[in-house]
Amino acid sequence: MTRALEVAFFEELGAVGYGRLSIEAVARRAGAGKAAVYRRWPSKQAMTVELVSRAAVTAVRAHDTGNLHDDVARFVRDTMTALSDPLVSRIIPDLLAETARNGELAAALVPGIRTPRRENAARILHQAVERGELPTDTDVELGLDFLASPIYWRLAVVRNPVDDVYVERVTAKIIAALKA
């Protein structure tokens, strides 16, 4: 039943957004009663934080391919795949808008999403420093912005298509920025 509730949660969140999301609608979509949801999560916010955090953290992992170019290219491809999912492309902008209005939700999502995702991506940069591919004084915080921002901007904001040529172009630019 938990899996059915999770699927129903994401489908409902994608359909109506966080503001209109209700425990009742999630339960109905999953073919369960409200009590089944409340046994697992005490509130809409708790359900959102747990499920979105888990999905966001597992969607894109940093890998050690042995070189910076391939690590960045894989991260770019994995991020593109995650952001290209039709459901994800509806949920992320909605949650970003909601966190701008709802400070409590924003504060709850930061430790569950932003912090572990940035720590995960930082491994790419730290590995490159250890291999001597990046200088020891590399600005990791700024580098993390370089890793994610162009892909997010392209797919979630301006919604332009991406392909392998784009992956190579953006990978080269990210690496150039990291080395500058």
pLDDT for the residue 83: 86
Q: Are the C-beta atoms of 47 and 2 separated by less than 8 Å?
A: no
pLDDT for the residue 58: 82
**Tens-digit pLDDT profile for the chain (180 aa)?**
799 999 999 999 999 999 999 999 999 999 999 999 999 999 999 999 999 998 888 877 888 999 999 999 999 999 898 888 888 888 998 999 999 999 999 999 888 888 888 899 999 999 999 999 999 999 999 999 999 899 988 888 888 888 999 999 999 999 999 998
pTM score? 0.84
CA neighbor of 82 nearest in space, from 92, 95, 72: 92
Q: Which domains does the chain have, with CATH numbers?
A: 1-40 (1.10.10.60), 53-179 (1.10.357.10)
Radius of gyration of the chain, Cα coordinates, nearest whole angstrom: 18
Taking each continuous run of H as one helix and of E as one strand, the counts in the chain are 10, 0
pLDDT for the residue 13: 97
Furthest CA-CA distance within the chain: 56
Residue 167 makes CB contacts below 8 A (sequence gap 6+) with 73, 76, 77, 80
Tokens of 167: 């992956």
Q: CB burial class (10 A; 0-12, 13-18, 19+) of residue 165? A: exposed
Handedness of CA 173, 74, 125, 149 (dihedral sign): positive
pLDDT for the residue 12: 97
Helix or strand holding residue 9 (H, E) = helix 2-20
Helix pair angle (140-152, 115-130), 10° resolution: 120
pLDDT for the residue 122: 95
pLDDT for the residue 57: 80
Which stretches of 53-137 are assigned E, i.e. beta strand?
none
pLDDT for the residue 136: 95
Side-chain half-sphere CA neighbours of 11 within 13 A:
12
